[in-house]
């Protein structure tokens, strides 16, 4: 599903964010990416989203080498990726319904599909009664649920979550992680970047630990150790 082969990323200021990183994530896996600030986690997510290009190595998604993917093909690639960010990135002037519908309109979905799909994903994340509200009327946890619904509305095979609980209280954080786990159990590959040691250590999923741009540990049912 996802494979990195000797990926190195060096920025123009000569800082090497990732150094010869290689790993594979199989279809349907749930993987935590952990590490201290500056370890390369954000760079990894940006590479998977094709926001930036690697300096060396090859990157595969769904068995396709996307390392030299032409710009015009990037939107199609991103339709296979649902992405959730720490800061939600919702459109404040749009209702909850319209925030999610917008993700479908971008893919030129029909009005009929939009009317059918948006209520379905809102129900999935427990917000069926919030469709006509606006982001600023919601709690942080509710906003993250909307962001999850938007990420899932096109039924992507891969969910990338970059610090999805970073701005949430512990109780709400667990609600969001349980949602992501439920989504994963339905077959979606989940890649979650986090600093939350309690969540990682409790859930006992695969954990890839980065330190100074290198993989220092990759455990099938791992924890977030103190050695990073």
Q: Are 217 and 34 in contact (CB under 8 A)?
A: no
**What is the rounded average pLDDT of the residues 72-100?**
91
Cα 76 to Cα 43, 79, 125, 139: the distances in Å are 21, 5, 25, 32
Q: Give the pLDDT confidence score for residue 226 in this predicted structure.
A: 58
- Domain boundary assignment for the chain: 26-53+77-219
Average pLDDT, the chain: 93
Confidence of residue 185 (pLDDT cuts 50, 70, 90): very high
Nearest to 194 by CA among 77, 42, 8, 11: 42
Confidence of residue 212 (pLDDT cuts 50, 70, 90): very high
Q: What is the CATH number of domain 26-53+77-219?
A: 3.40.50.300
């Amino acid at each position: 599903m996802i494979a990195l082969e000797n990926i190195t990323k060096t920025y123009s200021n000569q800082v090497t964010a990732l150094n010869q990183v290689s790993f594979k994530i199989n279809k349907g896996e749930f993987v935590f990416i952990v590490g201290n600030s500056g370890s390369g986690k954000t760079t990894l997510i940006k590479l998977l989203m094709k926001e930036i290009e690697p300096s060396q190595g090859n990157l595969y998604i769904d068995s396709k080498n996307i390392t030299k993917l032409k710009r015009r093909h990037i939107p199609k690639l991103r339709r296979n990726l649902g992405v959730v960010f720490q800061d939600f990135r919702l459109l404040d002037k749009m209702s909850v319904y319209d925030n999610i519908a917008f993700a479908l309109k971008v893919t030129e979905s029909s009005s009929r599909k939009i009317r059918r799909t948006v209520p379905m994903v809102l129900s999935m994340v427990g917000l069926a009664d919030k469709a006509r509200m606006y982001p600023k009327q919601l709690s942080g946890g509710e906003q993250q649920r909307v962001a999850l619904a938007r990420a899932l509305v096109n039924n992507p095979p891969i969910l990338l979550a970059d610090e999805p609980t970073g701005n949430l209280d512990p109780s709400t954080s667990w609600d969001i992680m349980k949602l992501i786990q439920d989504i994963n159990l339905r077959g979606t590959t989940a890649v979650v970047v986090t600093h939350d040691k309690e969540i990682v250590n409790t859930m006992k999923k695969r954990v890839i630990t980065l330190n100074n741009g290198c993989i220092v540990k990759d455990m099938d049912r791992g924890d977030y150790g103190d050695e990073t």
